[in-house]
A and B are shown apart, each in its own frame.
Chain A
Amino acid sequence: MNLYHRPGAQWLAYLVFYVVLAAVPFVVSDNFLLNQLSTYGVFAMLALSISLCWGFGGILNLGQGIPFGLGAYGMAMTMQMQSQDASNPMPPFMLNNSLDRLPLFWVPFWNTGVGITLALVVPTLFCAIFGWLMFRARVSGPFFAIMTLAMLSAWGTLILDIQPYTNGVNGITPPAPLKLGEIVVDPYSPAAYWTVLALLVLATVVAKLMTLSRFGLVVQSVRNDAERVRFLGYNVAGYETAIYTISGFFAAVAGCCWVMLTQYVSPAQFDTTFSLSMVIWAGIGGRMSLMGAILGAFLIQGAQSYLGDAFLNTWLLILGGFFILVVRFLPKGLIGLVESALGRLSSSTGGKTDGNGVSSIRSRLLQQPGE
């Protein structure tokens, strides 16, 4: 059996990967670099959520910026309100836009706990409602992708438009880092890095367990043949909505972390390019693999930060070209190379080979293994 498909080996790979990541702050003393690496962790969480939804659920989601952005705005509003007090209840930009009192939907964000809860619940709820509407109507495949894109652009324009409440294109810039009770989360500290990493590990474990569970199996069979699963008596729309909503929740968590790290949010988080780049991370790394998607995010964002300066003008050209090549020749992403390399290794060391080609193709189609 291919080592790549063995759950034990997969868990070991995750363990090694995350132990290495956890050790980074002991080596890296540059706080800005650490902050940058933490944001990569956030992007990795986004790639993970895309991999869940697209790789496992077969739902191409071009609007992952919606839950991410809504979560980020919720967190930014919470952090902004932490800097306000009873004598000065309104953020400065509202005064500049001549509002005379705090808008009603800002009021719950006085309380940090309520604020963060809202930042997670609202995007999740949105995904549940939108997903349910679409999947119940059996909108799927490219049409669903387009609708997510349209919703993304609708949210972006809306937030841009209600400038007095969201500060429009300038976005919200909370003046102080996040305070949780007495603890101040310094975005440049190793603590912030470890917080993000811990959430990423948690998300990975939950996602991995989910894909191995019965629920995950049904979701994957919906991807392979929704009609057949429907005939077997499963509620396909329910499973699709569930995986879409869970992936949206992960994106909302990522949004919260992102604002915690950068102390900034703007309608740029609703740009189509940003949402599509999440798909690119997962696509290049390997959408069928959680690990592949996570590595893809680190790889592409890292390359963008370090090669992006050298190839300032041609970076998008290179990225686009590379993405085309991956889609054309490596539908499983770069991790697919690892898979076939390990597969060759195990078959050359006496692994059982399929007798005839047809059954081999059949078993590959049927397995479509998660990792």
Chain B
Amino acid sequence: MAVGSFFTSFDLSAFINALILGISIASIWLIAALGLTIIYGAAGVINMAHGEFIMLGAYSSYMLQSFLGFPFVLCVPASFLIVALVGLVLERGLIRYLYKRPLDTLLATFGVSLVLMQGVRLIFGSDPKYLAVPPIFSSNIQFSFVNISVFRVVVLLVTLGIVTGLWALFYRTRFGVQVRAVMQDKEMAASFGVNADRVYMLTFALGAGLAGVAGSLFGVLNIVLPTMGASYVVQAFLVVVVGGGTLAGSVAAGGATGELQSIFAYFTNDTFARFLLFVLIVVFLRIRPQGLFAPSAKRR
């Protein structure tokens, strides 16, 4: 009886919509987590200010758009550069002194996140800002019973593009070889003439820049607020933890968690789905504490 009523209430088209929404959620979490993955994977730094980097990306897009009249398509790469620069300054000024104390990088970057959040609130105020996009981005695609907004497709495509680009960067360039060498064994890489300090600096800037891209996209999906980073950062962390700190791991973890969230949410509701997902992740880590695809070699 209960099973029967379950199946009658089970609506296939709505479920397929939920699955598609899951892909979109996955791409959002993944793009939020990419910068974090790179910074954690390469330098072992847990960047608590990552959410605020996302927020900075959104605000720099907002600034470029409303004060300089940049078109949105140009705002995205521009906020990459701006936030990457912020990341570079932070790494040179603070993080590089703390590489030997990984827990302290977590704390110091939390201090940074407080400063950034309050700083932005002082400059721009606490009222929400909005990013304008070309009208084609704000429409919906209707394909028989499947319904999804164009912008979510854009986010998905950008995520795919960035993942491909990162893969090419890490596995097809000289810099990528250096990064992977430093990841495996910093001293050994240094003795082969790799400037590990420079690698850390550049990966940190790259990770920050990716947060900037994510932020300028999230600014369209949602409103732009000084506190907006906090809502993405926990999910981004979970993607990194479940994935194990590698690029492939984050892609798989982002896909799995996003899809599961959407499926759970279909059967219950958003918040309860989140609770269920988190509990599931705890159980998962009990079985595979190193994450899905952990780097097999020794770290530093």
Contact = CB atoms under 8 A, between A and B. Distances in A.
Interface stretch (A84-92, A136-144, A184-192, A208-216): A136-144
B118 A320 contact: yes
Interface string B281-300: 11101110100000000000
A146 B46 contact: yes
Interface in A5-34: none
A279 B271 contact: no
Interface stretch (A115-123, A255-263, A321-329, A339-347): A321-329
Given A153-B278, A324-B115, A283 B107 contact: yes
B284 to A, nearest CB: 10
A343 B25 CA distance: 56
B117 A133 contact: no
Interface stretch (B98-106, B135-143, B247-255): B98-106
Nearest to B238: A150
Contact of A320 (B111, B281, B286, B287): B111
Interface stretch (A155-163, A198-206, A242-250, A351-359): A155-163
Contact of A327 (B107, B115, B275, B287): B107
Most buried by A among B46, B98, B111, B271: B111
Interface string B120-148: 01100000000000000000000000000
A316 interface: yes
Contact of B282 (A145, A147, A316): A147
B205 interface: no
B177 interface: no
Nearest to A153: B234
A314 B122 contact: yes
A158 B286 contact: no
A151 B282 contact: yes
B278 A151 contact: yes
Contacts of A317: 114-115, 118-119, 122
A41 to B, nearest CB: 25
A137 B46 CA distance: 20
Nearest to B289: A137
A98 interface: no
B97 interface: yes
A154 interface: yes
B122 A149 contact: no
Nearest to B277: A154
A161 B269 contact: yes
A143 B286 contact: no
Contact of A324 (B111, B275, B283): B111
Contact of B103 (A142, A153, A314, A320): A142
Most buried by B among A134, A160, A324: A324
Contacts of A217: none
A312 to B, nearest CB: 11
Contacts, number: 121
Contacts of B102: 141-142
A276 interface: yes
Main secondary structure of the interface of B (DSSP, over half): helix
Interface string B4-27: 000000000000000000000000
Contacts of B266: none
Nearest to A320: B114
B: contact size bracket: 35 or more
Contacts of B46: 142, 145-146
B282 A134 contact: yes
A321 B115 CA distance: 7
Contacts of A106: none
Contacts of B118: 313-317, 320
A219 B115 CA distance: 34
B114 A150 contact: no
Nearest to B45: A142
B274 A157 contact: yes
A323 B119 CA distance: 15
B241 interface: yes
B64 interface: no
Most buried by A among B104, B107, B237, B241: B107
Contacts of A158: 271-272, 275
A130 B282 CA distance: 8
B295 to A, nearest CB: 14
Contacts of A125: none
B56 to A, nearest CB: 15
A169 B62 CA distance: 31
Contacts of A175: none
Contacts of B238: 146, 150
Contacts of B117: 316
A327 B112 contact: no
A225 to B, nearest CB: 15
A272 interface: yes
A308 interface: no
B114 A145 contact: no
B103 A149 contact: no
5 nearest CB pairs, A to B: A320-B114, A154-B278, A161-B271, A324-B111, A316-B118
Given A316-B115, A323-B108, 8 more contacts: A137-B285, A137-B286, A161-B271, A276-B110, A316-B117, A320-B111, A321-B111, A324-B112
Interface of B: 46, 94, 97-98, 101-104, 106-108, 110-115, 117-119, 121-122, 230, 234, 237-238, 240-241, 269, 271-272, 274-275, 278-279, 281-283, 285-287, 289
Interface of A: 60, 130, 133-134, 136-139, 141-143, 145-147, 149-151, 153-155, 157-158, 160-161, 272, 276, 279, 283, 313-317, 319-321, 323-324, 327-328, 331
28 contacts: A130-B282, A134-B285, A137-B285, A139-B285, A141-B103, A142-B46, A145-B106, A146-B240, A150-B238, A150-B241, A150-B281, A151-B278, A153-B274, A153-B278, A154-B275, A155-B275, A157-B271, A157-B275, A158-B271, A272-B230, A319-B114, A320-B111, A323-B110, A324-B112, A327-B107, A327-B111, A328-B98, A331-B104
